[in-house]
Each structure stands twice: as C-alpha cells, then as structure tokens.
Structure 1
C-alpha cells in the first residue's frame, strides 16, 4: 500500500511511530509530512525517517489572534499539501489535520485520528466533516460524527506505552537522574486555538508546588513555554525521546498538559492534572473516575490539589493502589499499535469486519499481567 501520514503534534508521532515502522518493514510505501511544533521534528529526525516538513517556519503568527491565525493557516496548509501530493498516488491518508480536504479533492480515503470529545474542540468539526473514517476511543463522543467512528476500547497513549510496546530504560534514567525520589512538573503553553480562555499552572503556583515537592525529593520541570530565571534551574535537560523513560520512574507527575497527564496515568505514576479542561474530556474522566489512575483539578481548586498531593506523597490509598489499578486498566484495553497495524494492513476489509462485529477488537486485548 501507498500511505501518507500527516501529523502536526508530537503526541501523534508517538501514536503512529511503531505502526509506521512496522508498515515500512513489511514493504509498504509510507510518506510522512509534518509541521514544526514543539519537539516534533526532533522526534522524527531521531527515528531516522525520511520526511517533509511543509511548515519549517511553523504555523504560529506572533501577536495575532489564534482564530485569525487558524483561518489563514487553513488555506496555507491545504495549498502546501496539494502541492506536495501533486503527481503522487496514494491508497490511504492518515492525519490529525487538514489532509482530509486533499483526500476529498483527490478521492483518497482518509482516516482522521482524535481522542477529544467534539464538545470541547468544536473547531475540529472542519476536520471530521471531511474524513471518511475517524479513529477514536470508544468513550470519545464525536456527536454527529459518531457514525464515522472506528472505535477502539483504549487510549492513544497505549499505542506507545502499552507493556507490549514499551519497556523503560532504567539504566538511562539512572544516568540522567541520580536521585531515587523525583517528580515531574509539566508546564505547557496553552496557546492553540482550542486553548483560548483556558489556563493552567502559573509561575506562582509552580513555585508553591515546588516548595511542597522538595520536601520529598528532587523536582524537574518539563516545559513547553519559556521559564522565569527562578524556575529555569529546575528544567529537565534531556533529549525529547528520553522523556517517557524518565516519566515512568517519577514518584508523581503534576501538570497542565492533557497528554502527559494521561501518559503518567498509563504508566502507573500518580498523576495530578490542573487546567480548565477538567470534567470535559471523556478519556481523561475515565482514567480519573473508573480506573483511579489520576486526579484532576479545575484552576479554582488549587488548594485541593496541594492537599491531595501531600496526602499522596505520604502514602494514601490513591498512590498505594495505583499499580493495581493500572493492571486492571491494561487487562481491559486494546494494544492500540497492534490494532492499528491490523486495521491498516487489511484496509478496507478491516472496516467491514469491525462494522459487522465491533467486538473483533477484543483480539487486541492481550495484557498478561
């Protein structure tokens, strides 16, 4: 098969990495397009892939409204995608962005990937509307687009953190971080169009968290935004591809990132999320409420976060049962990479199989404990 992947966020690199490597090794022709976003290009380079960055300058405009920026980038992106695809033949497009429009124009089936409920990212309708299929967790509510959904019982992070796909490099972690007890504090920028009006951990709140955590171990900050001089000394200085190994050994994670909060939970690391998306995203709520792998706090609930974090650091039920709860979750969720490999290598017959028997996906629940 000839397959084109276009993804615009580092998290999707991790989601598709092992699937792409398998497809390539099995003789499929796989082309990869990206944009400059955070550490995405570093990750792709480190994997050794041939790729094309259609926005090496990035898609952000300084001092411009995110809505205006999104509107301008809509046309810039489609233009560059059409230019790249000219005189190329593909059997399938996989994307989390505007490649769906090129698929519609060129009559190439397109699978869009998301794990966000439509109610929280209504703007993503412009992508979902033109996708032929939408690969998303069963719990993710896509509203009027649910009929297009290829549902899998799991989370995107299981594509690269399921025990079948990930074994932490403990020797690497020891070389990077000498302390036995350490914590990861994640600070993101919250500047995307869907982040407008949302907030997370401010500099002052970060200082309060550090003051508490330092009583129990070393604090390291993973930052997507610029840090003030007083926080810079805590910055975690590692290669982007090493972060999952480090996170897996942390005593706790605290942050305003959706993805890293979920990664910590999947890894069985006590996870504390603090931002204005709390209570609005199905996959996050399920990890909080059903599996007790994480705790989430609105930005008006900082005092509750501090209290619960201190209880966890002193060995409360949440922290003591986290590994047991992790095993229960893994025993009920699919190995997403194995599922995607089957889905893509057998496309479009795989779509018909799932429509006829949605429980077919249970073949990919294979955690042995």
Structure 2
C-alpha cells in the first residue's frame, strides 16, 4: 500500500523513523512530507529519510494559521498525485483534513489533552485516533488506546542503545556531573496561557551552584549570561546525552518523558499537567511534575536534591524504568499495526488494554 507520513515537529521524526523503516521493509511505499519546525527537516536529513518540505517556519499564532493552510493545500495536491491508502501523523490536522478528500484513511496519534485547537480541528475528521492508555478523555469509537508512550516508539531498548562518546564530544569526563535544561517560548497553540519557571536565570545559577555542568536547550533567544550554557550538539545525539545526564529540569513534557524511558531523573515544570506525565510521576516515580503556583521553587528543590545525592541513586531510577518497560509496549509496533490495519480496510479501532 501507499502511506503518507506528515512531520511538523522534531519529535514526529523520532516517533515515525522506525515505523517508516519497517513499513518499507514490508513492501509498502512511504512518502514523508515535512514542515520546517526547529530541527525537524535537519533530523530527516541526518536519518537519511527521503522527504518533501511543504511549508516553512511560523512565527506566532497569526503566521501559524497561514503556514498550516499552505501545508494542507500542498499536501492535498501531492496526495491527489500519489493516491495514498493511509495518511499518518501526530496531531494530524492536515492528515485528517486531506485523507477524506483523496479516499485515504487517516491514523492520528496524540497524547496532549489540553491542545484544544488541534483536537477540535483534527479529531472530528480523523478515521482513527490512537492515544496512550493514560490519556485523559474519551474520544469515542474511533479511539485506540495502547499501553505505551510516544517516546517508546524510539527509546524502547529494542530501538535505542546510548552512545557514551557523547560525553567526550562535549568535553566531559566520565565522573563529571551535568544537567540538561529546556525552556519554552510558549508560542505553540497548545501552550497558550501557560507558563513554567518564574526566572530562567535563577534556575541556571542554582543548578550551577551544585557543581554540575548546566546545558541549556531553548526555543528562544537567551540573555548573554545564559547563552553561554546553550547546548551545542547535533540533534540526533540528544537522547545519548539525556541517558547519561544526572538530571533533566525543564518546561518540555516530551523531554521529561524521554528521560523517564531512559531512567534519568526528570523534573517537569508547567502550569498544566498532562495525563502521561502524571502517570510517569504517580505510577512509576520517574518524573517530578511541578504544576502549581509554587512550581518554580518546588522544581528547584527537587533538582538540587537529585544533583546533591538526595534524590535516590541511579540504580533506583533504572529499576523504576525497568518496571515501566515490563508493563508497556514497543510503540513502533503499534504504529505499524494501526497503519496496516487502516490500509487493509479492516476495523483498526479495537481498543488495546494495558
């Protein structure tokens, strides 16, 4: 069959990369369509995934609407030429809109309950919406729940082996302590009205006082004193770095979940909680989720405890991760199964249980 995959964020590349390989290995024809967003196109190039870029970056919500419209129109034009059986995506606004117009089935994967705009634009038109079993909300008969997390599509141990040379690439010795931070620009549609840390500078200063090297990843410009901490690393090496980090502290939920899959302590700071982050925190103890009015202070307290040896040793965090892996699935298998089921015309909406 012919499958179209749409990519509008770097995380989408990670999510689909192994599924693309498996679908092609099974004889299916896969076409990848991308929009410029942070390092998404760069990652496709680094992984050697053939793709077409249909639209560029957006700058704020006003330009996002124009870029999205351009992306959808160009995807529709290419889909009419290719005649795909299935269009797969994360979020899936463009996929859900285009698929019915070309006689294809859309398979949408999503895990963010508070992304109201995306849900309202995609879910009513999608044929299948696949969510983690911890997703808060009932989408109806088109929903497929599976026992896993997006990040297990690429960080399951069957898919990922960390490369220790990342330390030396950054000038780190084996015994050096380091922490990875992430700060959002809060410009995405699902981030409207939300916030994280009160003072980014205080975060970097306090973490540095523990003696740990602080690496900053951020979507926006930083002040000169913080800019010196910005991480300079090829994007495909990021998960190697997270595996060896002493701690992650940040406003990005995906990175917090990635650390949970790797057994690395994570402190997540956001005014809103998410179903999958809450489960990783409450059920597995792999994330500190700081969401209330004191989130800035609480997050720093957790992070400092971890970096100063009061947050439990590495073996304890890896043991929690091992328990998670024993109870969750390789999500690439879910992607491939759902795409093939949709393309085969069978009912792909059977709910999976943990």
Task: Tell whether the structures are fold-level matches, with TM greater than 0.5.
Answer: yes
Match of 1:152 among 107, 128, 146: 146
Which has the higher mean CA deviation after the structures are superposed, 295-304 or 98-107?
Answer: 295-304
**What is the CA-CA distance between 1:147 and the residue it aligns to?**
2.0
Distance 1:160 1:350 in 2: 27
Question: Which of 75, 79, 103 is the matching residue for 2:73?
Answer: 79
Distance of aligned partners of 1:268 and 1:2 in 2 relative to their CA distance in 1, 3 Å threshold: same
Q: Is 2:161 the counterpart of 1:162?
A: no
Choose which of 178, 184, 190 in structure 1 pairs with 2:180. 184
Residue 20 of structure 1, CA deviation: 0.5
Q: Give the direction of change, closer, same or farther, for the CA distance of 1:139–1:146 in structure 2 (3 Å limit).
A: farther
Q: Does the residue aligned with 2:112 lie in a helix, a strand or coil?
A: coil
Matches within 5 A, 1:59-74: 59-60=58-59, 66=61, 68-74=62-68
Aligned to 1:231: 226
**2:287 paired with 1:289:** no
TM-score by length of structure 2 reads 0.91
Shift of 1:105: 1.4
CA distance in 2: counterparts of 1:351 and 1:285, whole angstroms: 33
Q: Could you tell me which residue of structure 1 aligns to residue 9 of structure 2?
A: 9
Question: Could you tell me how far 1:317 is from its partner in structure 2?
Answer: 5.0
CA pair 77-354 structure 1, distance change in 2 beyond 3 A: closer
CA RMSD of aligned residues (A): 2.2
- State how 1:245-264 maps to structure 2 within 5 Å: 245-264=240-259
Q: Secondary structure at the match of 2:140?
A: helix
CA 74–50 in structure 1, closer or farther in 2 if over 3 Å, else same: closer
Aligned to 2:269: 274
Any unmatched runs of 5+ in structure 1?
Answer: 363-369
Report the equivalent of 2:47: 47
Q: 2:103 aligns with which of 93, 107, 120?
A: 107
Q: Distance in 1 between matches of 2:43 and 2:312?
A: 33
CA distance in 1, matches of 2:203, 2:166: 30
Partner of 1:265: 260
SS of the residue 2:82 aligns to: coil
C-alpha contact 2:107 2:128 (8 A) present in aligned 1: yes
CA distance in 1 between partners of 2:352 and 2:35 (Å)? 34
> Quick one: distance in 1 between partners of 2:136 and 2:337?
24
The reply to whether residue 21 of structure 1 matches residue 21 of structure 2 is yes
Which stretch of the first structure deviates more once superposed, 265-274 or 18-27? 18-27
- Quote the offset at 1:304 in angstroms: 1.8
The answer to whether the 8 Å contact 2:33/2:53 transfers is yes
How far off is 1:338 after superposition? 2.5
Distance 1:300 1:60 in 2: 29
Of stretches 336-345 and 155-164 in structure 1, the one that deviates more from structure 2 is: 336-345
Q: Give the secondary-structure state (helix, strand or coil) at the position aligned to 1:30.
A: strand
After TM superposition, the structure 1 stretch with the greater mean CA deviation from structure 2, 46-55 or 172-181, is 172-181
83 and 353 in structure 1: CA distance in 2 versus 1, 3 angstrom threshold: closer
Aligned length: 347
Q: CA 1:8–1:208 in 2, change beyond 3 Å: closer, same or farther?
A: closer
Query: In structure 2, how many angstroms separate the alpha carbons of the residues matched to 1:15 and 1:233?
Result: 31
Change (3 A) 1:187 1:351: farther
- Which SS does the other structure have where 1:79 is aligned? helix
Which deviations, in whole Å up to 9, do the C-alpha atoms of 1:158-196 show, x marking residues without a partner?
011111110001123333341421110111222012211
Within the candidate set 203, 210, 234, 2:205 is matched to 210
Q: Distance in 1 between matches of 2:214 and 2:68?
A: 40
Question: For the structure 1 residues 326 and 296, does the alpha-carbon distance in structure 2 shift closer, same or farther, using more than 3 Å as the test?
Answer: same
